Chain A
Amino acid sequence: MVAGQGTTPTPAPVLPPRSEVGAVGWARANLFSSWYNSLLTVIASAAVVLGLWFGLNWVVLDAEWGVIETIGGRFIIGGYNTDQACPGNDCFWRPQAALLMTTALLGMLWVVAGGVVGRIAMAVAAAAALCAFLPYSMERMGLDVRLLLLANLPALGVGWALARYTPVGKPRWVLVTGVSVFLLTVVLLRGIPGVWGLQPVPTLYWGGLTLNLLLAVAGIALSLPLGIALALGRRSDLPIVKLLCVAFIEIFRGVPLITLLFASQHLVPLAFPEAFPRNSLFSAGVVITLFSAAYMAENIRGGLQSLHPGQAEAARALGLAGWQTTLLISLPQAIRNVIPTIVGQFISLFKDTSLVYIIGMVDMVEIGRTFILGNPEYRISTKEVFIFIALVFWAFTYGMSYASRRLEQRLGVGTR
């Protein structure tokens, strides 16, 4: 066939005008689409420029970051390695060993879950290893401390290899390992009387970011199943069970956490017999878990309500028992639908661990506050201390919400 014979030549495609494509087009659509948007863009740009100018100026020139260096490791482990807590100051390796175990666990999770978990695992190990090169003198931060921090990189590799090449890599075994790591961490930090090198350290001296993370991990792990149970109880058609669950949820949701924490300090010694453990850390963990479970229950209930009743009816019609319908059909879909609110609750829980100061526990925030109050010469550097604490908390909470968004994408929420 001869081209062009007897046919009109195809016209060259009409390109959009140059003002509508590329950088100019993008700016026209997103910055200057109308006169008030242009005005807002100009004002916002001015705010950004001024903010960056003064902000950077302060961060680089005016701020006295020496205070962070002075507080140093206390931010992480609080008073754990002080003379009162651990005579001889040789307990520093215990939190670090716990960190090594956690990194190895993250390496295992990387294999099992993949994706964003891998990136988080690498970030944690890299951050820990980088801390080995902090410009402290060798007297303040010894070679042993630095080597233990560096060991996080091989630990990550060991965990990864274990999960990749041995049967430990099954999700069930990773779960078992996770629980064991947590319990081992608690035992390691607590110490065993009579064992050399593991002298007991009272929980009173546990502190810093370690305390926040311990409470948050325990609270998250326990409040989710408890919240699911409460949500199912609240939706149950058994009136007494329903009444009990509603009462629990509404009482714990209606009262501030700080009030509950303080009440626990006064009521637990009265309400439990003498033999019961009188431990601030323990009661803080229990109160935070119960408080968070009440919120979790409401989130899960929202997810259950968003399901079409046809799902459960179809499951029953296929011959699934009631508990099978709930566990295999309703709950997985309900939880998938409310991942953002569940993670939001985890984030709240992590932020709420800063309230344990009210019962005398010294978490990361309280370390900063007591340091400022106890050292008036550093009063001038208060801003630096709290901005640093805020950024540390932000890194964890933002990591959580980032992971939740990736999880949602992977589970295809809203697309199927």
Chain B
Amino acid sequence: MATTPRALTYRGIPVWRHALIIRWVVQIVSALVAVTLVVWFFANIVGAIQERDIPAGFGFLSREYQTPIGEHFIPYESSDTFLYALLVAAINTVVVAILGVILATMLGVLIGVARLSGSWILSRLMLVYIEFFRNVPLLVQLLFWFFIVLTLPPVREGYVFFDRIYVNNAGISMPGPVGSSLASASAWLALAAVSVGLGVLVHRVLTWREDRTGRASYPLAAGITVAVACGAAAWLIVGSVVGEAPLVISSPEPYGRFGRIGGGFTIRAGLLILLIGLVIYTSAFVAEIVRAGIQSVGRGQTEASRALGLSGIDTLRHVTFPQALRVIIPPMISQYLNLTKNSSLGGAVGYTDLTNVAITMTQTAPAVSIFLLIMLAYLAMSLTWSLIGNLYNRHIRIVGG
């Protein structure tokens, strides 16, 4: 009797152990669970909205907001729409994020470099700064600064320095440039931008020449000279055409019965506190990133550069820092992202940032729609930071690496 060949009785891998089938079952089940959850949430939300007659939709965006916004960098009236008010609030968040990122980077790099200083006591001092400020909740720090500013005298009895700078619990007012007329100011600003562009161009060309020929061409000095000269010429031309200087220095002055301060350049208390808090908090993280980045550059690099005769500062600038940058940028971008999101604490210190305005809006408009909008706004800001980070990363990556 012939035995049946093995090949004929082999029925293949059982269904429940087949890799392809397992993969697809897992995927379909997880997709189904996710879709069911989302649909269930939305069905519940829609049901609740209809049942309890809660206002919904996005029709409110064209209604008047009718609520003042404390800080605004573009003109704003209470009669403006919800949509415009959201834009004002988003600009507030963007302004504080950009200022905060610039200042925190500067302070953080300084502290990170000082942390590696050859002076033991300076290094220890910076360690204390870093360990303290990054381990205490930002909210506690913000409230600390908030109540410090609150103890300043009110506007009427505020401090005045040099007859020009007013410091009180509403903020700091100081002399600042103001356009004498919109036309002349914008004309000069446009020409000044062109001058700066020319200066950059000259700098580029001379750097290129220096790199190619090896002849000293002083690109930085030449670029700055060109930019300043063109800017000054534009100033004179615009001034003579219009008949007055494009920008004048305006000094703050008290006016009215309540001694309010008008004119000049004012940093309001809310923005000031939020900036101080965010910058100090973030700079501690930035300093640690900078320190780790510099330490990641091999010791041999520094020693070789010193052996070639570069000074300590030049070594840091031309050898260590450019290489450290590759390690520094990715975590730095995530700190910038954190700073942007942390600015949502502005409400605790009286700054009308996006979250604060949104929370106020939920009293008169559908909360679901508002949260959807500001979530999209924050996601857009995060994506922008990621995009900048990725572009810069590509720019500084090791060529051929």
Contacts and interface: CB of A to CB of B under 8 A. Distances in A.
A390 B262 CA distance: 37
Interface stretch (B61-69, B114-122, B223-231, B247-255): B114-122
B371 A372 contact: no
Given A33-B118, A254-B379, A44 B135 contact: no
Contact of A259 (B30, B122, B131, B344): B344
A40 B117 contact: yes
Interface in A378-400: 379-380, 382-383, 386-387, 389-390, 393-394, 397-398
A272 B114 CA distance: 53
Q: Contact size class for B?
A: 35 or more
B79 interface: no
A273 B47 CA distance: 10
Interface of B is mostly: helix
Contacts of A254: 375, 378-379, 381-383
B140 interface: yes
A280 interface: no
A37 B119 contact: yes
Interface in B38-91: 41, 44-45, 48-49, 54
A387 B141 CA distance: 9
A240 B31 contact: yes
Interface stretch (A111-119, A141-149, A347-355): A347-355
A47 B125 contact: yes
B355 interface: yes
A37 B118 CA distance: 6
B137 interface: yes
B368 A267 contact: yes
B286 to A, nearest CB: 14
Contacts of B137: 351-352, 354, 365, 393
A37 B359 CA distance: 51
B121 A390 contact: no
A266 B121 contact: no
Contacts of A266: 362, 367-368, 371
A409 interface: no
Contact of A365 (B143, B375, B383): B143
A262 B378 CA distance: 15
Interface string A237-266: 011110010000011011111110011001
B392 to A, nearest CB: 19
Interface stretch (B7-15, B144-152, B184-192): B144-152
Interface string B20-37: 000100111011001000
A416 B31 CA distance: 41
Contacts of B140: 354, 365, 386, 389-390, 393
Contacts of B379: 250-251, 254-255
A48 interface: yes
A34 interface: yes
Given A41-B122, A351-B138, A271 B378 contact: no
A354 B125 contact: no
Given A44-B125, A255-B378, A372-B147, A354 B344 contact: no
Interface in A281-330: none
B314 to A, nearest CB: 14
B208 interface: no
Tell which of B45, B118, B355 has the most Cβ of chain A within 10 Å: B118
Given A253-B382, A259-B371, A354-B140, A270 B48 contact: yes
Interface in B340-373: 341-342, 344-345, 347-348, 355, 358-359, 362, 367-368, 371
B136 interface: yes
A262 B118 contact: no
B121 A31 contact: yes
B374 interface: yes
B197 to A, nearest CB: 34
B323 to A, nearest CB: 20
A210 B346 CA distance: 26
A30 interface: yes
A401 interface: yes
A355 B139 contact: yes
B322 to A, nearest CB: 22
A383 B119 contact: no
B218 interface: no
Interface in A54-90: none
A256 B342 contact: yes
A104 B137 CA distance: 29
Contacts of A273: 44
A327 B374 CA distance: 39
B30 A45 contact: no
Contacts of B150: 379, 382
B53 to A, nearest CB: 13
Given A48-B125, A244-B34, A351-B138, A398 B144 contact: no
Interface string B147-165: 1101100000000000000
B48 A44 contact: no
Nearest to B313: A36
Given A241-B30, A254-B382, A271 B41 contact: yes
Contacts of A259: 344, 355, 358, 371, 374-375, 378
Contacts of A255: 341, 375, 378-379
B386 to A, nearest CB: 9
A319 B218 CA distance: 66
Contact of B144 (A267, A387, A401): A387
A369 interface: yes
Contact of A397 (B45, B135, B348): B135
Interface string A352-387: 101101100000010011001000000110110011
B345 A258 contact: yes
Contacts of A48: 121, 125
A365 B139 contact: yes
A397 B140 CA distance: 14
20 contacts: A33-B118, A34-B118, A37-B118, A41-B121, A44-B121, A48-B125, A238-B23, A240-B31, A244-B31, A244-B34, A250-B382, A258-B347, A262-B355, A270-B45, A379-B151, A382-B144, A383-B147, A394-B132, A398-B131, A401-B135
Given A241-B27, A269-B48, 14 more contacts: A30-B119, A40-B122, A43-B122, A240-B31, A254-B382, A256-B342, A259-B374, A270-B368, A365-B139, A380-B151, A383-B148, A390-B141, A390-B144, A393-B136
The 7 closest A-B pairs by CB, nearest first: A256-B344, A382-B147, A254-B382, A397-B135, A30-B120, A44-B122, A351-B137
